[in-house]
Structure 1
């Protein structure tokens, strides 16, 4: 499917197919997946990107985590984030987690692979998440005959 036909709703629908998949650090399959793997696999399923990066630890150090998003997706203002955009969160000082912005019952939600809950979940985008969000990114759109290039 050409990238320009991918709607935010289609991104959210694909992300929802991963709900309940077990969490696994650096996982990239339905046998186990982490937050970055979820973004990678949704992008692959929709033909948005084949980019992947697995050289990251379980504890964030520096800005390396977010640099891959910056290099491969378009940054948007957090206040301008829309359905299907990827939000990046920081625990303490460094970016270390990401998930898809969604909506349920007219309220913003987040689909992400949650290490503590040990699976992919969709939960309200509220409370602690609002304080931890540091960046928002959107998949790039490309013409059908152009090289799509890497995106997270």
Structure 2
């Protein structure tokens, strides 16, 4: 039986940086929007967060069965259970922002940066695809929560 080769990668888990999270999320740009989608043939805002987390081995959690209409705080409870909350002013590129339309949280996306300005990378239902746009206009008024992925083993 061959001896197992031990390398630093097998002993020390790879640290996922905010840059790694943003790069993985950007790999989904242009993917069509599809409610509850979880693949490159179609994805929604939650699916984008789930797929990035899975690809980077940050979480194996997923939740489906949600409606397109926000009802109560259930949408945000999944983030609270699986990510660390961050004060909104302390959010950094790679963090997940959660937005509300009217009363309830109903949308999420990744905070990114381009040319020194904050941007939002998200699966946009109206635009029918994953986009990255300036974090401006309606978005700052709609933000309700910010979350950060937990590192493996933390």
Do the two structures share a fold, i.e. TM-score over 0.5? yes
8 Å contact kept, 1:3–1:48: no
Alignment of 1:3-152 (within 5 A): 5-143=15-153
8 Å contact kept, 1:3–1:47: no
Flag the structure with larger Rg.
Answer: 2
8 Å contact kept, 1:59–1:96: yes
Gaps of 5+ in 2: 1-8
* Higher RCO by CA contacts (8 Å cutoff, separation 6 or greater): 1
| Count of residues paired in the alignment | 144
1:127 offset after TM fit, Å?
Answer: 1.3
What is the root-mean-square deviation in Å for CA atoms of aligned residues? 1.4
